[in-house]
Structure 1
Amino acid sequence: MAYAVAKDGTRLYVEEAGAGTPIVFVHEFGGNYDAWEPQMTFFARRHRCVTFAARGYPPSDIPADVEAYSQAIAVSDILAVMDHLKIGQAHVVGLSMGGFATLHLGLTAPERAFSLTIAGAGYGAEKQFEDYFKGVSLDVAKNFETQTARVFAETYASGASRVQFQNKDPRGWRAFADRLATHSDIGAANTMRGVQARRPSLYDLEKEIAAMTVPALVMVGDEDDHCLQPGLFLKKTLPAAGLAILPKTGHTLNLEEPELFNTLLREFIAMVEAGRWLPRDPRANPAEVMKTK
């Protein structure tokens, strides 16, 4: 097994495949490094593809102290993986929790990213649901501790933005739920408490996001209700962002619609590498409906 070592000594399990311009995949709370297999298999034909298990996710180390988990630490861990592999710059692709970490990497270390793909990022961002989300996150953390991941996985995997996956692809959803059942109880609880419940709202970062010029692709499912408005916010705020809304799709974008996800990501990366993914043309003024003179 290959491991990168984070700043605090936490070991992070890493896998890579292929050769070419690097792509680093950052998984969601409900996934792990192996949840990116449809992308690793597809993109390794042309790229050096990297996936890793976040701290708290076996076979990475599982710190027992909740203070070893935070949004800033999640970004630092991505950079630790890149440094270990001697990757100066990469296309960084993140889903949900990984999407937030990807965005924050762009805010704190934009020089390390050729591009950012921010998929399914929005939970807890909406100001009217901020307190509710924090409370639910703490409840989820407690459930992982008291019920164990093996038992609670079935409940978590049946959420309002997961049933789309279950209905479309029962076998794929079953593999997702079974993977979730293998998570560390303490790792899942600490990730919920230290990262999910404490991260700042996207809307509180509007000024910083508006100043970030890294090419970005925002992806969201149209039935992932609490990511739709944050996705539109990112599209309107990030200067060089495109927005892809996947129809009849929930939260687990890369597994629920792997072919569409890969096609959109492939075109985005190709446009970035051709120097053709540009900031929005200032003539595309949203205040203008039709030109009169």
Structure 2
Amino acid sequence: MPHAIASDGVRLYYEETGSGRTVIFVHEFAGSHESWEPQMRHFGRRYRCVAFAARGYPPSDVPEQASSYSQAQAADDIAAVLDHLGEEKAHVVGLSMGGFATLHFGFRHPGKARSLCVGGCGYGAELDQRERFRGEADVIAAALKRDGMEAFADRYAYGPTRVQFENKDPRGFAEFRDMLSQHSALGSANTQLGVQKERPSLYELVDEMRALTVPTLIITGDEDWPCLLPSILMKQNIPSAALSVIPNSGHTINIEEPDEYNRLLGTFLAQVDSGRWPMRDPRSLAASITGMKP
């Protein structure tokens, strides 16, 4: 089984398919490397596609201490996978927890990023929701340690931004819930405590966003309520960013709406690779609403 080695020695399992420019897929908290199968099959026809399991998600290693998990480490783990592949740059595509890691990869390793696709990014970011989100991370970690993954999956899979997936595709949703139930309870609990709970708010990272010039696509579902305003925040402040909103959709957009997601991502990658992805025209930031000041 192929593994990359992180900076602290943790082994990160990955799968790859195809050839061409490299695209690395970074999964969400309730997903795994397997969550990207619709994208691996689609984009593997024209790219070298790599999906890896985050630390805490077997077949990757599961460090026993929460101190081995952090937002910075999650970003650096992407870089470790890229270095292991022998590539200088990659398109990096992440969802939710993976979207945060992708954004921070852009902050920490901009020279290694050909582009960034930041999906479903924003949970706990709004400043008035910070303590509530941190409290829920503690509740989730305790439930995982107490009740195990099977009981946790029965509750977490039916969250308010995931029921959209069940309504559209009961079979796909059942597969998602079953895969979630097989994750490591220890790894998931430590991820909640070390990564989710402790990551900085996006609203505290505006200066970093304004300095980011890597081509960036932000994608969210319009019923992924915790991500809507943070997505606008990123669009407003990252000068190389575009924002796409998928209608009538929740959080797991890459498997809930794979055709639309693949279309948006494919157009983005093609524009970047052809050198046609724009920076924001500074004239669009004029203080006037209409351009006709009184």
**TM-score normalised by L of structure 2:** 0.98
Which ranges in structure 1 are unaligned for 5 or more consecutive residues? none
Matched positions, count: 293
Residue of structure 2 equivalent to 1:100: 100
State the Cα distance separating 1:275 from its structure 2 match: 1.3
- Alignment pair present for 1:149 and 2:149: yes
Aligned-partner residue type, residue 70 of structure 2: S
Backbone CA RMSD of aligned residues: 0.9
State the Cα distance separating 1:231 from its structure 2 match: 0.2
Residue of structure 1 equivalent to 2:166: 166
State the Cα distance separating 1:286 from its structure 2 match: 5.2
Q: Distance in 2 between matches of 1:25 and 1:154?
A: 26
Residue of structure 1 equivalent to 2:112: 112
Q: Distance in 2 between matches of 1:22 and 1:241?
A: 20
Superposed CA deviations along residues 110-164 of structure 1, whole A, max 9, x for unmatched, are 0000100000000010000000000001101111111100111010000000000
Q: Distance in 2 between matches of 1:139 and 1:69?
A: 18
Which ranges in structure 2 are unaligned for 5 or more consecutive residues? none
SS of residue matched to 1:251? coil
Superposed CA deviations along residues 31-61 of structure 1, whole A, max 9, x for unmatched, are 0001000000000000000000000001111
Q: Distance in 2 between matches of 1:193 and 1:173?
A: 26
Aligned-partner residue type, residue 130 of structure 2: E
SS of residue matched to 1:220? strand
| Runs of 4+ displaced beyond 3 Å | none
- Alignment pair present for 1:79 and 2:79: yes
State the Cα distance separating 1:285 from its structure 2 match: 2.7
Residue of structure 1 equivalent to 2:54: 54
Greater alpha carbon shift after TM alignment, 2-11 vs 247-256: 2-11
State the Cα distance separating 1:288 from its structure 2 match: 2.9
Superposed CA deviations along residues 206-250 of structure 1, whole A, max 9, x for unmatched, are 111111100100001100001000000000000010000010000
Map 1:61-72 onto structure 2 (within 5 A): 61-72=61-72
Residue of structure 1 equivalent to 2:224: 224
Residue of structure 1 equivalent to 2:258: 258
Q: Distance in 1 between matches of 2:87 and 2:54?
A: 18
Aligned-partner residue type, residue 191 of structure 1: T
Superposed CA deviations along residues 60-90 of structure 1, whole A, max 9, x for unmatched, are 1100011000001111111111111111100
Q: Distance in 2 between matches of 1:85 and 1:236?
A: 34
Map 1:228-239 onto structure 2 (within 5 A): 228-239=228-239
Q: Distance in 2 between matches of 1:242 and 1:271?
A: 12
**TM-score normalised by L of structure 1:** 0.98
Residue of structure 2 equivalent to 1:268: 268
SS of residue matched to 2:261? helix
Aligned-partner residue type, residue 204 of structure 1: E
